[in-house]
Amino acid sequence: MARRPAAVRYVVLFLGALIFLFPFYYMLIGSLQSEPDTSIGGAFPTSGLTFGNYADINSRVDLVGSLINSGVFTGGVLLCTVVFGVLAGYALARLQFRGRGTLFALVLLVQVIPFQLLLVPLYVLIVRGYGLADSYLGMILPFAINTTAVFVFRQFFLQLPDDLFAAARLDGAGELRILRSVALPLVRPALLTAVLLTFIGPWNEFLWPFLITKQADMQPLAVSLANYISNVSSRAANPFGAILAGACVLAAPAVALFIAFQRQFTSTDIGSGVKG
């Protein structure tokens, strides 16, 4: 009798997984269809699968160049997010200074402001003030500091035992040495969480890079695919499949990154360095 509840639980989890994965399956199958089929039977084709939709995109969009641009843009944002997020999160969690609570409240306040409200002043500042139009730096700067990452790092640093930091200070370690040698090795889940949360934003961002540069050879993949879907896909042999193929190309790196790191989302024994 004890096995029956467990079996029911696994069946429910399996059905939930199927429901969650079905949109991804339908997107992939639709991108491989030579002719559009939006019926339920189109999700289970028996023939007619082809890579023609991907070939059509590749003939009209420089996928390799767009992927490189997305890599530079997203990689720069990730690097800035991790560096500044770790430093700011550590300072808000472990350093004592006047105004720390007020500063943290401002960090939380920034999270409730939609990015779209800041587009006009940011555009004026980046393009007219700094003269960074048509540059990777102009794309990266508005996303260089991520308040969500700051909050995540602060919360993880707060969970670390105070005895670890006290022992390190007694041994003469400075704050940067403590951060590098004591704190960072214990907050690997926070690093992975911040990387994944940050990756999705700039990788899918198309409005800001489109405003910064109109040069096709500098546009990230999301901008190139958005231009293709809105202007060219309607003239493809299978417009429905062309749109789904573009969605698959854009989603594939994010899915691959999640699969590669999903095993790392485990809690760390943050008290392993403390006796007793």
Amino acid at 245: A
CATH dotted code for 52-264: 1.10.3720.10
Q: Is 133 helix (H, G, I), strand (E, B) or coil?
A: coil
Q: CA 152, CA 140: separation in Å to the nearest integer? A: 21
Report the distance separating Cα 122 and Cα 142, nearest Å.
Answer: 7
The whole-angstrom distance between residue 124's C-alpha and the CA centroid of its chain comes to 26
| pTM greater than the 0.85 cutoff | no
Give, for all 276 residues of the chain, the pLDDT tens digit. Answer: 456 677 888 888 899 988 888 888 888 888 888 777 767 766 777 677 888 888 888 888 888 888 899 999 999 999 999 999 999 999 998 888 888 889 889 888 888 888 888 888 899 999 988 999 989 999 999 898 888 889 888 988 888 888 888 888 888 888 888 888 888 888 877 788 788 878 888 888 888 888 898 888 888 988 888 888 777 767 777 778 888 888 888 888 888 877 777 666 554 444 444 444
Three-state SS at 53: helix
**3-class DSSP state for residue 49?**
strand
For the chain, domain boundaries: 52-264
What is d(CA 224, CA 219) in angstroms, rounded to the nearest whole number?
6
Cα 271 to Cα 151: distance, rounded to the nearest angstrom: 21
Closest CA to 60 of 239, 248, 238, 236: 236
